[in-house]
Amino acid sequence: MKLSRLALAVALLPVSSLYATADNNEDALKLSSTVITANRIAQEDVRATYASELHSAEDIKNSAAINLYDYLGRFSSVNVLTSGNPYQQKLDMRGYGIGDGYQNIVVTLNGRRLNNIDMSPQLLSSIPLNSIERIEIIKGSGSVAQGDGAMAGVINIVTKDQKGVDFSMAAGSDGYSAASISAGLSEEFFALQVLAENSESDGLRKKDVDGKTDESDANNLSATLKVFPVDGLELRLGKDRARMDAHYGGWIDKKQFDKNPSKNRDLAPPHQEWEFKTDVNRLGASYQVNELLSFDIDHAAEKKEVEFVYPGSKPSKFDYRSTDFSGQLSLERLTLVAGVQLFDGERKENNNKMHKDNKGAYLQGLYALGDTTFSAGARREKVKYKYKETTKLKDDHTLDAWDIGVNHQYSQELSVFANLNQGFQAPDIERFFGFDPNDWSIVFNDFIKPAKSKTLNIGLNHVTERNKLKVTGFYSKLKNEIYFYNTGTPFSPLNINTNIDKSYKYGLEVQDSFQVTPELLARVNYAWTRAKIDKEDEGNGAYNGKKLPGVSEHSITAGVDYRVVQDGTLTLTQNWRSRAYAQEDFANKLKQKQKAYNTTDFGYAHKIDNFTLFAQVNNVFNRKNGLWLREDVIYPVNFTRTWYAGIRASF
């Protein structure tokens, strides 16, 4: 088995039992508060002044998820769908729509931004699932700490400090195979971690007219060295490498989707091929001056190539450089964090160069007064654009974010919070370009305005030994929300990226984990979301009062984990999202709508000493799911039953 087959398994292996390590019923479940760091000041989530959602390594291991996209889509409040490419899927949170929602979420890996300067979604496939210590989700806040693009919130992924050796392998339907190995060594003056992961799949869709299937192959390597030369000082050096290749089928019409979604269309080209390469070099240092004062600095340089392969194609080359410096002062009641973030992004395509550069500075504080915690912060960010072809074009914006919040803990079990946040999103570089149907060329249209938002969150946390409940209500008011204006005529020069003048969103979110018995855990994550367009002049008023397309009003993930024997656990999960308007249907007039998403998954895991055996069946009832762009333009997603089984070992 190739190492590439060995690693989807680590991503496949997370079906380990919730209770497998329990020696008695009292240890069956621990529902305690968890520390969250995505907003740069570490807090217990029940004391946080903003809406938060956390997923631990144990949650991930118990989930039986294939990869990080799979986990977020089935177990979090984040909506996840693909328009074909399995390695680069779209994210949506808080009603920004599956089309552009990912650009309103900042995704960070140990604090390093993964957002792109073009319209490519954040690449989460390069993060091995078994390397994750926790996933921190901040909703409707985080713009002071993370800046550009955090209007919906922040997803911060924190990786483990590996000790010992973990190994896993798995195989399943449709040619799925995977393997992974990770190892860590920790000594007095240094710590070293390495990880290798490979995965392969033949794909779910049938061969097309060119004999191609949705085959894919991914390889990830990562290494981190930490050195502790003196007390209080940590030096970091890291390297990440990813290579991915994916063939994926194009869209099909509704007739074909209803008849057989696995069949590729007969149109040319029936499929796309995507090749991706990235290399990231990381440097960092942390210094604890004394009990009160500490400093952190991290620098990353990423070079990547992305190519949609066709005769005569050439890769687009990206060069990202980011620096993050912060200092923290921790007094008895007051914690202050100040920082500077620099980002320089360049894309080279043929002879064209496009830049998007961000420079931000922020200050935020946390003050504890008895059972009440107050927070406040502000940020100023300068965004510059450069475009060089036959002419040079420039634009820049100075943007502000701020955040105020309060949390009051009535008892050890109950706390309430309120938060008011202003965020912004500066357009990516591709938003300024359009298509000229006369010569099939890409032309510069115009610079467009940044989007701005104000969001109010009000919620409560209730945590006991048997139950962990979070409830949040929110309201967001937006100006210049960014979208693609489509006249309905393909390749029309009037199809442009522009701004929705005024829009708003509101909703209710409920998370709950409940220990019914020492052997049975029930969990639910529900969101009710409304997203509407107030005013948009581009469509001559046709969009006013309409619902934002691609936003499901109701979404729910629910499940149970049942320990059937001392070391064996059954897991049942149901994921459902209600119908919505198709992704491009801003006028809300198309007959075909985004179909409700529905999948039921079932798994079992059994622990024997240092080994865990697992098996999983996804989409048990063969539900046909898809992503609707518009009428008769549908990308099949999770449309058939799949299975896999494997083994994991930890030493």
Query: Alpha-carbon distance 600 to 527, whole Å?
Result: 18
Residue 449 exposed, middle or buried by CB count within 10 Å (0-12, 13-18, 19+): middle
Sequence-ordered list of residues with C-beta below 8 angstroms from that of 576, at least 6 positions apart, any chain:
554, 555, 556, 557, 596, 597, 598, 599
Where residue 157 falls among pLDDT bands split at 50, 70, 90?
Answer: very high
**444-487 residue pLDDT tens:** 777 889 999 999 999 999 988 889 999 999 999 999 999 888 76
Distances (CA, A) of 98 to 121, 147, 360, 578: 11, 21, 28, 13
Least confident among 12-21, 222-231, 354-363, 617-626? 12-21
**526-535 residue pLDDT tens:** 999 999 999 9
Find the mean pLDDT for residues 15-32.
37
Number of domains in the chain: 1
- Higher per-residue pLDDT: 131 or 444: 131
**336-376 residue pLDDT tens:** 999 999 999 999 887 778 899 999 999 999 999 999 999 99
Position 641 pLDDT exceeds 80: yes
Question: E-strand spans in 258-391?
Answer: 271-288, 293-308, 316-330, 334-349, 352-369, 372-388
Q: For tokens 């109010």, name the residue.
A: 456
User: From the CB of residue 3, how many other CB atoms can be counted at a distance below 10 Å?
Assistant: 17
Predicted confidence at residue 357, as pLDDT, reads 95
Where residue 266 falls among pLDDT bands split at 50, 70, 90?
Answer: low
Find the mean pLDDT for residues 489-517.
86
CB of 143 within 8 A of CB of 181?
Answer: no
Predicted confidence at residue 299, as pLDDT, reads 96
CB of 451 within 8 A of CB of 498?
Answer: no
Predicted confidence at residue 481, as pLDDT, reads 93
CB of 106 within 8 A of CB of 93?
Answer: no
Position 24 pLDDT exceeds 70: no
Where residue 395 falls among pLDDT bands split at 50, 70, 90?
Answer: confident
Predicted confidence at residue 465, as pLDDT, reads 86
Predicted confidence at residue 435, as pLDDT, reads 66
CB of 394 within 8 A of CB of 374?
Answer: no
Find the mean pLDDT for residues 607-618.
89
**509-522 residue pLDDT tens:** 999 999 999 999 99
Residue 230 exposed, middle or buried by CB count within 10 Å (0-12, 13-18, 19+): exposed
Predicted confidence at residue 14, as pLDDT, reads 33
Distances (CA, A) of 160 to 134, 184, 280: 8, 10, 18
User: From the CB of residue 34, how many other CB atoms can be counted at a distance below 10 Å?
Assistant: 17
User: From the CB of residue 157, how many other CB atoms can be counted at a distance below 10 Å?
Assistant: 23
Q: 149: which 2 tokens? A: 């693009």
Query: Alpha-carbon distance 631 to 612, whole Å?
Result: 46
Position 6 pLDDT exceeds 70: no
Q: For tokens 């319209």, name the residue.
A: 119
Q: Which residues pair with 381 in a beta bridge?
A: 360, 399
Q: What is the mean pLDDT of the chain?
A: 87
Q: 284: which 2 tokens? A: 């960092």
In this prediction the pTM is 0.90
Least confident among 4-8, 67-71, 261-265, 446-450? 4-8
CB of 583 within 8 A of CB of 551?
Answer: no
Where residue 624 falls among pLDDT bands split at 50, 70, 90?
Answer: very high
Where residue 1 falls among pLDDT bands split at 50, 70, 90?
Answer: very low
Using a pLDDT cut of 90, give the percent of the chain over it. 57
Q: How far is CA 478 from the centre of its chain?
A: 22
Task: Kindly report the CATH number assigned to the domain that includes residue 507.
Answer: 2.40.170.20
CB of 218 within 8 A of CB of 125?
Answer: yes
Position 17 pLDDT exceeds 50: no
User: From the CB of residue 541, how many other CB atoms can be counted at a distance below 10 Å?
Assistant: 10
- Strands 105-109, 153-159: pairing is parallel
> Would you put residue 99 in left (φ > 0), alpha (ψ -120 to 50) or beta?
alpha
Query: Alpha-carbon distance 17 to 563, whole Å?
Result: 8
Whole domain around residue 635: which residue ranges? 3-650
Sequence-ordered list of residues with C-beta below 8 angstroms from that of 503, at least 6 positions apart, any chain:
478, 481, 531, 532, 533, 534, 536, 548
Query: Alpha-carbon distance 127 to 144, whole Å?
Result: 25
Position 5 pLDDT exceeds 50: no
Query: Alpha-carbon distance 411 to 46, whole Å?
Result: 11
Position 309 pLDDT exceeds 90: no
Position 7 pLDDT exceeds 60: no
Q: 518: which 2 tokens? A: 């020492």
Question: E-strand spans in 389-495?
Answer: 392-409, 414-425, 433-436, 441-444, 451-463, 467-485
**60-85 residue pLDDT tens:** 877 767 789 888 988 888 988 887 78
Q: For tokens 């898809």, name the residue.
A: 626
**368-394 residue pLDDT tens:** 999 999 999 999 999 999 887 655 678
CB of 70 within 8 A of CB of 78?
Answer: no
